[in-house]
Amino acid sequence: MCGRMVLTLPHEAMVNLFGATPGNDLPEVPDYNICPTDRVHVVSAQDGVRRLGAMRWGFLPHWYKAMNGGPLLINARGETIAEKPAFRAAVRLRRCIVPASGFYEWTKDEAGNRLPWYITRADGSPMAMAAVWQGWGEDDPVNTCAVVTTGANAAMSAIHHRMPVILEPEDWALWLGEAGHGAAPLMTAPPDEALTWHRVDPAVNSNRAEGPELIEPLEEAGI
């Protein structure tokens, strides 16, 4: 799964990376502790134009009567996304990309303490997480999104059994619908060597924690 992420890339760098037109309401960066229901950066495409905008992380199906009208849908399982009523239209028509520098995942020690890990791309490049989006509400519509996940690769499974779908640059156009709609083959785990990770301070267990020290490695930790 993906339940917390980091983004340190400046807006101009994201605009250049994705060839997107920026919105005027982008969240501030860097952010070392992006949490569910926060506004996140999202790349979408419409009429041949890519846009970098902001959406609420937490997908709201159209039938929710209120933002808390059902489960908080921050992730969508790639294996069943085309079948689930909440996501099946979005995965056909409203695919998007959530840029990230990395994301957090947790293991537990023998005493049950939650041990946080920070996961990044091994080559140091930004992540492009596959996602879907949905507009919600009539009077003042809110765009909302969920990150698509898949089963973890063998290496990542030492930390968690799920992971976000991470798209390579050559696949961005297909996922965004610019090169057709058959994106199902993209919803797979990256190769084992694609990611790297290290233990970080448990301070990040709090969704109020901030600052670059949250992603600094703990030297004594390892898997």
Annotated catalytic residues are 2, 105
- Which one, of 147, 142, 171, 162, lies nearest residue 98 by Cα? 147
d(CA 22, CA 95): 18
Strands annotated E in 94-141: 95-100, 102-108, 114-121, 127-136
Tokens of 119: 């996961």
**Phi–psi pair at 173, nearest 5 degrees:** -60, -40
Residue 58 zone, left/alpha/beta (φ > 0; ψ -120 to 50; rest): left
60 alpha carbon, distance to own chain's centre = 16
Tokens of 68: 């808390």
Cβ-Cβ contacts under 8 Å for 211 (sequence gap 6 or more): 32
